[in-house]
Homo-oligomer: A and B are copies of this chain.
Amino acid sequence: MPDKRAKGLATLKEVMGDTYVEQRDKTINRFNAPLRSFIDENCFGDVWMRDDLDRKTRSLILISTLTALNRPTQIAAHVRSAINNGATIEEIQGTLYQTISYCGVVDAADSFRVAEDVLREMGLFDQWSRP
């Protein structure tokens, strides 16, 4: 188990980035510790380490899945993970474009806004969007 967890934390850093992990470490406490352990072991120590899907595909799948559920905080997190995992802005846009027809304009529009904000924060938006 300690080994599984250590590998999970390494994966977490690769997927979410150093800043995210530092911020996360500062906020652990007795209340959320069982949640964090679950995520460390099952998400980053298991799902994200499996080789049946590449990580970029996992991120794009999550962006669409979380759009269907309209969960902005996690959509932001996985636009970030998609970039960290090598996705282009066009691939993120294509993923969101698909949700318009399948999930409806309401949820798609919310995700387009969230994704734009994250890409701006990451300093990637202005150059890309310039004509």
Contacts and interface: CB of A to CB of B under 8 A. Distances in A.
A34 B112 CA distance: 10
Q: Secondary structure of the A side of the interface?
A: helix
Chain A interface bracket (under 10, 10 to 19, 20 to 34, 35 or more) = 35 or more
A105 B130 CA distance: 33
Contacts of A70: 69-71
Interface of A: 1, 29-32, 34-35, 38-39, 42-43, 46-47, 50, 52-53, 57-58, 60-62, 64-71, 73-74, 89-91, 93-110, 112-113, 115-116, 119, 125, 128-131
Given A50-B94, A99-B104, 11 more contacts: A1-B1, A31-B112, A34-B97, A35-B109, A43-B101, A43-B105, A52-B90, A61-B95, A66-B106, A69-B106, A104-B107
